[in-house]
Structure 1
Amino acid sequence: MGTTATKIHNKRARIPWRFLGKRALFYTFTLWAALTINFFLPRMMKGDAVSAYLARNQNISQEAADALRALLGLDTDKTLWQQYMDYWALLLRGDLGISISHGLRPVIEVISGALPWTIGLVGVATVIAFTVGTLGGAFIGWRRGSRLDLFIPLTTFLSTIPYFWLGLLAITVFSVNLRLLPIGKAFGVGLSPTWSWDFISSVIEHGVLPASTIVLASLGGWMLGMRNMMLTVLDEDYITVAQAKGMPNRRVLWRYAARNAVLPQIQSFALSLGFIVGGTIVMEMVFSYPGVGKMLLDATNAKDYALMQGVFLIITLSVLVANIAADVAYAFLDPRTRQTES
């Protein structure tokens, strides 16, 4: 009996190498396709960064313009294929090029200056919304038919409001009328990024309003999804058996029902974590927040190819890494997944 139990345990604990190998091949191809599209898509747009720069600075000589095009990888003497190969050579060396809209600074330096603001704000807001929505949805699903069901249409209604309108409404109420919170920006005027309490408290104060609107706008989706999954799980036989054995309701709720109902939420949460890097463009525009989303919009308007490609690269990698993490976690939490795909 001990030998049989050991075999069963080893079989359950076996690492799903075949499943992970298939996913690795899939994501490798996806990465190549995304980076290839990342190269060609900006070049399909009308105009380029150099032309826009020359329109603003007409005293630039033709020789300087040609040198600038060569520096940005837009040399007309090279074919599109040669530019594509140069693009991959630079990527493999970790060189994302230079940004013409930021004073010819390295793209990696420009992105690294905006990335912490987006991750800090959108990341914290996403985690809060997921945690509150998932726990709340599980409890509401468990207490189905009670007055707690009123939270579902309320939070869903908030999710249907256009984000820019919700942000402007929050600014009007809490910043203009009540004067409780600052209108926008990431920190107060006159402060510089340091590890001082004045700067940190200013960052927190400026982040409360945009973070709260993100939570309110996304809370309904998490709560509704978890509540619906709980209603499905509660009809399963193992829940009925657990309750018939006299297990405490709290244990049945969190150990059996919520643990299985949360599995589909993991994939959605991973996607949300991946898209955190892209930021929320509308939010950053409404609150004048110096994040990656606003930077991407500005780079698109300036036709800054290098910066656009750098931001797209970071977003692509973050989404792929988040999906890989979700697939691995899902495979270990739910053995049916790897058994189906193996």
Structure 2
Amino acid sequence: MSATYVVRRILLFFVVVWAATTFIFFLPKLAPGRNPIVERIGMMIATGGVNATNMQAMVDAYEAKFGLDKPVWEQYVTYLGDVLHFDFGYSLMQYPTTVLDIIRTAMPWTIGLLLCSTLIAFAIGTVLGGLLAWSRAPKAIQFLLPPLFMFSVIPYYLFGLILVYLLAFQLKVFPMSGSVQLGASTQFSLSFITDVIYHSMLPALSIILASLGFWALGMRAMMVSIAGEDYMLFADAKGLKGSRIFLGYAMRNAMLPQTTTLALSLGTILSGALLVEVVFNYPGMGAVLFRAVSAFDYFTIYGVVFFIIVGVALATLVLDLIYPLLDPR
């Protein structure tokens, strides 16, 4: 891997982030007649939050406050400068809280939930997929194939609703929603960590069950495709133990595409499992994005989508840099 290749990939990373950031800035501008300030004040008037008197004066004052009274090109230049400093301004739905403060609060919840769920599903699914395709594995494991096919087509939010009904509503094993017990102290301690894990069990199970089939079936397909490769036949002809062939030859080579998919999945973690977080009232990035879209809070949408873009682009960059090391071909 040459220095030119590394520099080219890093430059591509910045170009992708710039292009995507520019796109999300201009996209709302292309929607005719959609003014985020007018939309937000209209919602506040409809809910009785403010008086409708002198609405135009309120709109003008807010537009000046948020810089929306300036020409579009000037807004764009200011926007790019603010993005470089991770400054997305104030949230319309939680004014005067800044967008960055909202994201700082939500991001740890999403990373904790999605990172653990994705890695657990990947580990279990990869091993199951390998065993399902391994001819020397116990035959009883083949009974897992139909459920895995079924799991792969059920969306995670549907799993969430089913788990809420069975384990929270009927059996009352887990709480129905939230991230911690209502009124509990958020001071970092063993009891707080236990409470967080307890409340995250149902959202995590929803994500794990929904993605388990995807990882298992993907690994199974790769294992089947390499079964007749020369290095597999050579290892068998040498009389190596089945476990060594399975782990050192079959799994090791079939893992490369799985690793690629895992890296891209980790890159999308910051987007959160939007519908799962909504179903469980979980305070992550997906829930923030949902509320921002519902409240026409374009500034929060800009901030959340920017971090999603950076996460995906960064995961792709890391993958481009390490893949030649994993597969020298």
TM value normalised by structure 2: 0.92
Deviation at 1:165, TM superposition (A): 2.4
Provide the residue aligned with 1:130 in structure 2. Answer: 122
Provide the residue aligned with 2:92 in structure 1. Answer: 100
Deviation at 1:64, TM superposition (A): 4.7
1:330-341 mapped onto 2 (5 Å cutoff): 330-336=323-329
Secondary structure, in 3 states, of the residue corresponding to 1:322?
helix
Distance 1:159 1:234 in 2: 24
Which stretch shows the higher mean deviation, 248-257 or 288-297? 248-257
Provide the residue aligned with 1:110 in structure 2. Answer: 102
Given that 1:48 and 1:304 are in contact with CA atoms closer than 8 Å, whether structure 2 keeps it comes out as no
Provide the residue aligned with 2:60 in structure 1. Answer: 66
1:49-198 mapped onto 2 (5 Å cutoff): 49-55=36-42, 56=44, 57=50, 58-59=52-53, 62-75=56-69, 78-143=70-135, 146-198=139-191
Deviation at 1:25, TM superposition (A): 3.1
Distance 1:65 1:36 in 2: 25
Query: Among residues 265, 281, 287, which one is paired with 2:280 in the alignment?
Result: 287
Instruction: Tell me the alpha carbon deviations over residues 13-65 of structure 1, each in whole angstroms, 9 at most, x when there is no partner.
Output: xx433332332233222111101111112333453331133222235665553
Deviation at 1:200, TM superposition (A): 1.8
Deviation at 1:335, TM superposition (A): 1.3
Secondary structure, in 3 states, of the residue corresponding to 2:271?
coil
Distance 1:185 1:144 in 2: 45
Secondary structure, in 3 states, of the residue corresponding to 2:258?
helix
Distance 2:209 2:85 in 1: 42
The CA RMSD over aligned residues, in Å, is 1.8
Which stretch shows the higher mean deviation, 86-95 or 305-314? 86-95
Provide the residue aligned with 1:48 in structure 2. Answer: 35
Distance 1:250 1:59 in 2: 77
The residue type paired with residue 73 of structure 1 is: G
1:14-29 mapped onto 2 (5 Å cutoff): 15-29=1-15
Distance 1:191 1:304 in 2: 30
The residue type paired with residue 101 of structure 1 is: M
Query: Among residues 202, 205, 209, which one is paired with 1:212 in the alignment?
Result: 205
Secondary structure, in 3 states, of the residue corresponding to 2:235?
helix
Query: Which ranges in structure 1 are unaligned for 5 or more consecutive residues?
Result: 1-14, 337-342
Which stretch shows the higher mean deviation, 132-141 or 269-278? 132-141
Query: Among residues 193, 205, 209, which one is paired with 1:200 in the alignment?
Result: 193
The residue type paired with residue 54 of structure 1 is: I
Deviation at 1:144, TM superposition (A): 6.8
Identity %: 38
Provide the residue aligned with 1:253 in structure 2. Answer: 246
Given that 2:148 and 2:212 are in contact with CA atoms closer than 8 Å, whether structure 1 keeps it comes out as yes
Which stretch shows the higher mean deviation, 216-225 or 26-35? 26-35
Given that 2:28 and 2:34 are in contact with CA atoms closer than 8 Å, whether structure 1 keeps it comes out as no
Deviation at 1:159, TM superposition (A): 2.2
Given that 1:54 and 1:60 are in contact with CA atoms closer than 8 Å, whether structure 2 keeps it comes out as no
Provide the residue aligned with 1:31 in structure 2. Answer: 17
Which stretch shows the higher mean deviation, 78-87 or 106-115? 78-87
Change (3 A) 1:178 1:316: same
Distance 2:54 2:266 in 1: 44
Query: Which ranges in structure 2 are unaligned for 5 or more consecutive residues?
Result: 45-49
The residue type paired with residue 235 of structure 2 is: A
1:226-265 mapped onto 2 (5 Å cutoff): 226-265=219-258
Deviation at 1:250, TM superposition (A): 1.5
Which stretch shows the higher mean deviation, 142-151 or 282-291? 142-151
Which stretch shows the higher mean deviation, 84-93 or 303-312? 84-93
